[in-house]
A and B are shown apart, each in its own frame.
Chain A
């Protein structure tokens, strides 16, 4: 199954509870030494260095949950409420909004998460979307 967002992630090693694990495609800037996510075609958003100074840097898909809440109304055609969205630290100092698998009862602030691929319907196609699930085997 094709990835819904191949610019942001790639298949990782092993399986989570709800699907195969994914790694995230960050950028590492040779000019300033900082990591940013996602890597883009435009260069380093931290220091402004040109794209040729930025290398692909894989994040292992492990994250720490900072806050989360359930969406009750259809704020976007891409979501089917109720669904749970959170903020997670995907690398030191890099906080991203993430979509969480399942019900909010599964989650607690500070919990370890991991990125997994979950099938979603997009038109008449099935694609593998990036979701985060509890990583109970993680620290």
Chain B
């Protein structure tokens, strides 16, 4: 199998965002073009120089990207709509990288834009009943997993709150975050109860927003005189879930498999990572994934997070953007918003969120169903 690193080098050269926010009457085209124009300015490119675009979107409807691009000049670029649930933006990014790596294009765009839509889901058309009326609600599965882990490894509600407090505090320094208020462990514990030990700030909010990342080849870097500092994409890996074995949820098992594969493809180990943006739709996930990604020994995720290792300027900055919990999770843009954060961290332009000496980062998302996707990015010196 050919992997990204065997092909032409791919670089992220421009990133931009529209702030994630609660559902509003903001037109999606306004949000998408805001992110796109910011990414173009960051790269030092004009829109006609973009040869292809992959648009991650779940809730707006057919041809969202094509309609949007009409308003920035119909250049004839190749446009592909990309829906992969919560990982739509991540998949759009992967496809844009592959186009450039394969030599099909020199400059490609991944853009995620979403509104909180009507939540039409294939699972509701499956025609297969479930015993529980909550079986299609991810929150319920993760809250039950947290209950199990509480007894299995002595997890405390404070451990969940610590993840949420860290990510909300990171989000308070991020102008694009949906939540920009620092919160303490006590604030999180005292918030509205949702299920079991979960309170509302331990769960990702619903929202809308946009994020864009422009990727290009080494030739384009040279020929187009790009101004954005390039960040190399070393790997991008996607797999879907297998049937659950024992107590480990299929989505957790596939997250582990994808991390191991993407490290191998990138030629790195977990110890090389300085920045990890991961799928913390629920705080319990971060406690699990820091173990499954090998950032700390198995069974020690909560001790590792309690030690401050996952904070900015700790061992590895985990979700320095605020993650899905605080930066937000508008679905289509989420995976590209992660790339936005990692690129700024690796360039050293993350401002008050800057993690010292960051050179390597990983973005990880899960899409309903579920699929897991991860990319490794590195600053080349």
Using a CB–CB cutoff of 8 Å, the interface residues on chain A facing chain B are 5, 7-8, 24, 38, 40-42, 45-46, 66-73, 75-76, 78-79, 85-87, 90, 95-99, 109, 130
Query: Is the pair B151, A109 in contact by a Cβ cutoff of 8 Å?
Result: yes
Number of interface residues of B (CB under 8 A): 29
Tell whether, in the assembled complex, residue A75 and residue B131 are in contact, meaning their CB atoms are under 8 Å apart: no
Q: Which residues of chain A come closer than 8 Å to B130, judged between CB atoms?
A: 8, 38, 96-97
Residues of B within 8 A of A109 (CB): 151
B247 within 8 A of A: yes
Assess whether A70 is in contact with B128, with CB atoms less than 8 Å apart. no
Residues of B within 8 A of A40 (CB): 127-128
User: Is B193 in contact with chain A by the CB < 8 A criterion?
Assistant: yes
Given the known A-B contacts A67-B148, A69-B196, A85-B144, are A75 and B137 also in contact in the complex, defined by CB atoms under 8 Å? yes
A85 → B minimal CB distance (Å): 6
B131 in complex: contacting residue of A67, A76, A98, CB < 8 Å: A98
Residues of B within 8 A of A96 (CB): 130-132, 135
The answer to whether B140 touches A75, judged by C-beta atoms less than 8 angstroms apart, is yes
Query: Which residues of chain A are near B135, meaning CB under 8 Å?
Result: 96-97
Among the interface residues B133, B151, B193, B243, which one has the most CB atoms of the partner chain A within 10 A?
B133
- Cβ contacts under 8 Å, B60 to chain A: none
Mark B282-315 against chain A: 1 for CB-CB distance below 8 A, else 0.
Answer: 0000000000000000000000000000000000
Contacts A67-B144, A67-B148, A86-B144 aside, 16 further interface pairs with beta carbons under 8 A come to A5-B129, A7-B129, A38-B128, A40-B128, A67-B151, A68-B147, A69-B143, A69-B146, A69-B197, A75-B139, A75-B195, A76-B133, A96-B130, A98-B131, A109-B151, A130-B131
What are 7 A-to-B residue pairs whose CB atoms are below 8 Å? Answer: A70-B196, A71-B134, A73-B193, A75-B194, A78-B134, A85-B140, A86-B144
